Structure 1
């Protein structure tokens, strides 16, 4: 077993799941939602995605207690056309809506070659790679987009307008593990900055500006000011794209509109999520096996270059390590164990 840093503890993934489930049930969330969130958090913690792992339990509990998120309403799946699917989350948390919608998305894409799924009126707090991984594991190329908390300034600006607006893409791998990336269009996810604040650590230059519009390395000032898009105008344009296709395109909120209905409980924002899935088997003239082999050759050529690490490889290595237990901040774990207490 690998060593455990002094400020962390190692707990089994079963313990991670049980802590999430029992905490959420303890504050009154219905079991279907509690179990779906527990599965989502456990996947992120197993992959050492700490900004979307156990840390997120704090926000989920806050939104249950504040009454922002419905506790026992169930999402409803419907079809606009055979390939356009919709899940009305009915102001509940996203994980259960995703678990209901993604299998239907996979079935439609496998049947017709392409399909899209919109999740409406949900409180999204999970990692997008976990949202699309089931579709990619089913042999589909998949994309996912969602808005985030309105905390990002457009390129050249200093005031929040956009969300962190992540993008995820996955490509199936017949021989290797699937190629999946998931990143915020801001220089860093808001959760990463929150974790830096909790740890008393500075953030790198270029991540954010403070309330006065000046660059800052203080995470508290960054959260009070505005995060910045990655890559300047390029990241800003991608963030605008996500605003449009996860907001007006599917008939849901933009980040600014979501901020206007927030109650300040530190939980997830209200909004929508768009999935697109394509079955590579529908395209020719080469066979599917040939095309997947060509993609594998691209990945292999990249790995031959010293210093190259493909997206998701770090997570897969972390997932393997986590079979012996997940590393969790000792201070965070102590805090989480008090969450279901009356208060």
Structure 2
């Protein structure tokens, strides 16, 4: 069951289906279609359930602000393009990436089984969220999966003082006979951007070597990292 925190700081357990249903209603009330709401709610609830809090309920205000500003189209209908025997492309229509991925999932699995390998490229989309919920089902279906995402420049190279790279998340999953799949989901930085945001919200300092401030100086303060660092 996912966890939730009350105003007093107590922890309560919320049934997964209850959380997923609540999140879906929130998304719909803020302008998404029912189909998009269902995909986003499942993704967020799954992240919360499995302890990836940086991509769970914590992300809801960000989702809603992008909907309210019109930056993202919550009613976009993804357009799947069959480009080649081993290649699918999806135009997300300025919508969220997760519904675009789900729209192509069945065709992606079919192509991988038919050709031994398949590539899916998503464009014109926003916020792919955590990657493991997308590669793990492929491993459950008996396939080896690799997912890559670009990101904004927010990572300082070793020895540098200015952000040059993205966190460029990578995830992969592989099936194991008689066991749950082997699944990795990681940022290529010392810490994920979402975890810096959570530390700032909770007033926690970060370990040494996790960030620099806007002047390129090492800092343990997550707020200084987020403020131009």
Q: Same fold (TM over 0.5)?
A: yes
Q: Give the counterpart of 2:183 among 156, 180, 184.
A: 180
Deviations along 1:12-70, whole A, 9 cap, x unmatched? Answer: 11221122111111111111111110011111111111111111111110100010001
**Where does residue 173 of structure 2 map in the other structure?**
170
* 1:78 paired to 2:81: yes
- Please show how residues 226-265 of structure 1 align to structure 2 within 5 Å: 226=229
Q: Would the aligned equivalents of 2:4 and 2:14 in 1 still touch at CA under 8 Å?
A: no
For 1:66 and 1:150, the matched residues in 2 are separated by 23
| Structure 1 residues not aligned, in runs of 5+ | 227-343
The 4+ residue runs of structure 1 with deviation greater than 6 A are none
Q: 1:90 to 1:4 in 2, by over 3 A?
A: closer
| Structure 2 residues not aligned, in runs of 5+ | none
TM-score w.r.t. structure 1 length?
Answer: 0.63
**Where does residue 127 of structure 2 map in the other structure?**
124
How far off its partner does 1:4 sit?
A: 9.2
Count of paired positions: 225
Q: Would the aligned equivalents of 1:213 and 1:225 in 2 still touch at CA under 8 Å?
A: no
Q: Give the counterpart of 2:22 among 19, 23, 32.
A: 19
For 2:196 and 2:92, the matched residues in 1 are separated by 28
User: Which has the higher Rg, Structure 1 or Structure 2?
Assistant: 1
Q: Give the counterpart of 2:66 among 57, 63, 74.
A: 63
Q: 1:11 to 1:151 in 2, by over 3 A?
A: same
How far off its partner does 1:90 sit?
A: 1.3
For 2:56 and 2:156, the matched residues in 1 are separated by 26
Over aligned residue pairs, what C-alpha RMSD do you find?
Answer: 1.8
Q: Give the counterpart of 2:217 among 204, 214, 217.
A: 214
* 1:31 paired to 2:54: no
Deviations along 1:205-248, whole A, 9 cap, x unmatched? Answer: 1111001111000000011244xxxxxxxxxxxxxxxxxxxxxx
SS in 2 for 1:172: strand
TM-score w.r.t. structure 2 length?
Answer: 0.93
Task: Flag the structure with more relative contact order, 1 or 2, with Cα contacts below 8 A and sequence separation at least 6.
Answer: 1
For 2:35 and 2:175, the matched residues in 1 are separated by 29
SS in 1 for 2:180: coil
* 1:95 paired to 2:98: yes
**Where does residue 140 of structure 2 map in the other structure?**
137
